[in-house]
């Protein structure tokens, strides 16, 4: 099919990656850009039908408009030898179906997978694109514990495309809503129902309707007969409640949008309170709690202290004695104070004369001055 120049003169086709009811996916190589790609080819039996070709092209263009980290990107679209093809990004890794086969998946991992799938669906639904075929085989992973990407966006199956193979019909029907199975047109609700079925399979290790017989499977889906997820040992009750609501038999009890289901998966958000004042310090019960002082109170106390200090200083200056009021401390002579008149004769008080202190000179006293004893030279007569 590829010819000497490859598919569309650009892409080399290699091994088969998967086969669906409408197309097959091949491993490819972009010779122009030198990168690995995945090429989806419409089945030859459907390629001869104008309605199938128009639907394939229309949905390929719709998928190419979607850009999201959880959506497989579409690079190119074309025809080769009368066969339409879509070129998509090639992801290293496996599908979610492979991860389910490796054993039980932790609840937090289940929440992450469902949240990323719903994030991709939210973008697609906002663009008017309904996936119509959400299932583990169409959810690619980058490895155990890695992120997921939804493939085959907008590649809707025709009314009887699923009847080409019984196995494909059973595999697809297991994720089909009761309304869609009853003949109602596909809608956003069908994608959300399919996400719930995928979640059930991730938790329980099998889909809620595991019947292999087509008629038995259809009957179980139409009547909502499945084992409650809460009966699974070790299941997270909150996660089980979200999944059970998504696959409720009554469509009025289900989620109405991908964002609504994402919010339910995230759970209630904690209430955030904003405090305008700082917290008081935590003190042990054995000690008294310190009283918090406001900055304004500190300023007032400081001002009062300054004023008190100024008043004390002024009073101290006013009470200090001056030189006019100070008593004399020295004199050259002492005269006894006058005696008050009395009938008793006063006793005579000898007068005392205080001699002034003479300064001490380094070379001795000057001539003619002594201290009561004349040590100077005697007169020679």
Annotated binding site for ATP: 40
Alpha-helical runs (H) found in the chain: 44-47, 50-64, 96-101, 107-126, 166-173, 178-181, 188-204, 214-223, 237-246, 258-266, 295-319
Which residues touch 139 (CB under 8 Å, ≥6 apart)?
95, 96, 113, 117, 148, 149, 150, 151, 198
Active-site position among 133, 152, 190, 191: 133
Task: Output the CA torsion sign for 249, 253, 257, 261.
Answer: negative
Annotated binding site: 40
Q: Do residues 25 and 78 lie in contact, with contact meaning Cβ atoms separated by under 8 Å?
A: no
Q: Considering only CA atoms, which of 196, 182, 181, 211 is closest in space to residue 247?
A: 196
Closest CA to 76 of 18, 8, 12, 20: 8
133 is a catalytic site residue? yes
Active site amino acids:
133
């Amino acid at each position: 099919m590829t010819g000497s120049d490859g598919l569309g003169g650009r892409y080399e086709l290699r091994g088969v990656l998967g086969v669906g009811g409408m197309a097959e996916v091949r491993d490819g190589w972009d010779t122009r850009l030198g990168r690995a790609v995945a090429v989806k080819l419409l089945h030859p039996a459907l390629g001869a039908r104008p309605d199938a070709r128009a639907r394939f092209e229309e949905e390929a263009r719709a998928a190419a408009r979607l850009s999201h980290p959880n959506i497989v990107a579409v690079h190119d679209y074309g025809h080769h030898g009368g066969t339409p093809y879509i070129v998509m990004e090639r992801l290293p890794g496996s599908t979610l179906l492979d991860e389910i086969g490796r054993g039980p998946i932790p609840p937090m991992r289940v929440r992450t997978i469902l949240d990323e799938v719903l994030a991709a669906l939210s973008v697609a639904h906002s663009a008017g694109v309904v996936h119509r075929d959400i299932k583990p085989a169409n959810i690619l992973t980058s490895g155990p514990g890695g992120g997921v990407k939804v493939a085959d966006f907008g590649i809707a199956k025709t009314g009887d495309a699923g009847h080409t193979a019984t196995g494909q019909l059973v595999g697809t029907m297991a994720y089909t809503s009761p309304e869609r199975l009853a003949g109602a047109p596909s809608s956003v609700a069908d994608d959300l129902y399919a996400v719930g079925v995928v979640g059930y399979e991730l938790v329980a290790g099998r889909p809620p309707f595991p019947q292999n017989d087509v008629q038995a499977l259809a009957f179980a889906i139409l009547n909502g007969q499945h084992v409650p997820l809460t009966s699974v040992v070790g299941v997270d009750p909150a996660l089980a409640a979200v999944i059970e609501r998504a696959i409720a038999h009554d469509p009025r009890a289900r989620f109405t949008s991908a964002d609504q289901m994402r919010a339910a998966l995230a759970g209630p958000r904690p209430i955030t309170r904003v405090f305008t004042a700082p917290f008081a310090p935590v003190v042990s019960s054995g000690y008294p709690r310190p009283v918090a002082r406001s900055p304004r109170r500190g300023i007032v106390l400081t001002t009062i202290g300054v004023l008190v200090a100024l008043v004390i200083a002024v009073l101290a200056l006013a009470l200090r004695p001056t030189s006019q009021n100070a008593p004399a401390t020295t004199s050259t002579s002492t005269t006894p104070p006058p005696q008050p008149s009395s009938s008793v004769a006063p006793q005579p008080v000898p007068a005392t004369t205080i001699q002034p202190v003479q300064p001490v000179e380094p070379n001795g006293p000057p001539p003619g001055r002594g201290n009561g004893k004349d040590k100077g030279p005697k007169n020679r007569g």
